[in-house]
């Protein structure tokens, strides 16, 4: 899928015409879901709709080439996707939705009493990665955090794995006993769940890292939206830009104060959990 939707020459021509950020187009990914997840994290709701419609039209264009030997120019495919997206928006404004719209909570979720939640995230650049970690208790009170950078270019899933390793080390330094780790990479969570069936280098590394979770009284790993992981993401970006390593306790950075307060006030219910 990553080849068909992102790496295929015609697809690489279609996406920039549709306005996709060149940074996301040039990033290296092994799993399509990770690329789409990162792309959607940089867009508003309307841009996401246009993006998905463009991918669908690009997919159909490649299928037509395989089955019929016919492939249209990138500009034509992009214009068709744009027109279709506009028609959908007009339809949704003038007609009752076929499927009812169900509000979904996207806020950070407080853990159960006695559990410390550690959110972590990774940010990548061509030759460097940054990671951010934030630990909070069941009242949303910050117990500590960390940000750091590593001068090594790596793909998104490997960067997220490295951030998990840093989070485990972070937990050991603070001696938290009952921990819940939270990340916004669905791809890595799925690979953790299926690590014993994963014969790749990533799968092998996961079988080495995950046993360290047994060092705690209790621990699990859950997935949540990028919105609920925004503090860890901000810390990772800070570390990447400033090339800094910093660990703090309750005297957390002023830059994250507003986000900490919003999360504590607007906590919601979780989307899905894995492990």
For each of the domains in the chain, give its residue range(s) and CATH number, in order of start. 2-94 (no CATH), 116-273 (3.30.420.10)
Q: Are the CB atoms for 21 and 35 separated by under 8 Å? A: no
Q: pLDDT class for 19, splitting at 50, 70, 90?
A: low
Q: Which two tokens stand for residue 244?
A: 């800094």
Task: Supply the pLDDT for residue 273.
Answer: 34
Q: For residue 92, is pLDDT > 80? A: no
The 10s digit of each residue's pLDDT in 174-187 is: 989 899 999 988 88
Task: Supply the pLDDT for residue 269.
Answer: 44
Q: Are the CB atoms for 26 and 156 separated by under 8 Å? A: no
What are the angstrom distances between the C-alpha of 78 and each of 1, 21, 86, 87, 102? 19, 15, 12, 14, 30
Of all residues in the chain, the percent with pLDDT exceeding 90 is 23
The 10s digit of each residue's pLDDT in 142-184 is: 999 999 999 987 888 888 999 999 999 999 899 898 999 999 8
Q: pLDDT class for 117, splitting at 50, 70, 90?
A: very high
Q: Which two tokens stand for residue 17?
A: 């015409």
Q: Which strands form 218-223's sheet, in the order they lie side by side?
A: 246-248, 142-150, 128-136, 116-125, 178-183, 218-223, 272-273
More confident residue, 18 or 37: 37
Task: Supply the pLDDT for residue 137.
Answer: 92
Residue 44 forms beta bridges with which residues?
none
H/E segment holding residue 123: strand 116-125
Q: Are the CB atoms for 146 and 252 separated by under 8 Å? A: no
Q: For the ranges 39-43, 122-126, 186-190, 262-266, which has the lowest average pLDDT?
A: 39-43
In 161-264, the DSSP E strands lie at 178-183, 218-223, 246-248
């Amino acid at each position: 899928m990553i080849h068909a939707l992102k790496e295929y020459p015609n697809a690489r021509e279609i996406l920039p015409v549709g306005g996709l950020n060149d940074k996301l187009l040039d990033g290296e990914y092994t799993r399509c879901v990770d690329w789409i997840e990162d792309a959607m994290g940089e867009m508003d709701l309307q841009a996401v709709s246009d993006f998905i419609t463009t991918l669908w039209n690009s997919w159909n264009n490649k299928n037509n080439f395989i089955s019929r030997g016919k492939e249209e120019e990138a500009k034509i495919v992009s214009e068709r996707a744009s027109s279709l997206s506009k028609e959908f928006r007009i339809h949704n404004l003038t007609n009752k939705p076929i499927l009812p719209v169900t509000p979904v909570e996207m806020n950070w979720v407080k853990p159960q009493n006695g559990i410390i939640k550690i959110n972590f995230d990774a940010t990548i650049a061509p030759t460097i990665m940054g990671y951010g970690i934030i630990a909070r208790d069941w009242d949303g009170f910050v117990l500590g955090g960390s940000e750091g950078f590593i001068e090594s270019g790596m793909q998104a899933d490997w960067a997220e794995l490295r951030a998990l390793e840093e989070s485990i080390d972070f937990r050991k330094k603070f001696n938290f006993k009952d921990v819940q780790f939270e990340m916004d990479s669905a791809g890595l969570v799925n690979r953790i769940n299926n690590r014993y069936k994963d014969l790749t280098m990533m799968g092998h590394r996961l079988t080495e890292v995950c046993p360290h979770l047994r060092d705690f009284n209790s621990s699990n790993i859950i997935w949540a939206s990028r919105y609920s992981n925004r503090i860890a993401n901000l810390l990772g970006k800070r570390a990447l830009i400033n090339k800094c390593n910093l660990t703090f306790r309750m005297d957390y950075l002023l830059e994250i104060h507003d986000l900490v307060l919003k999360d504590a006030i607007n906590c919601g219910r979780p989307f899905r959990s894995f492990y």
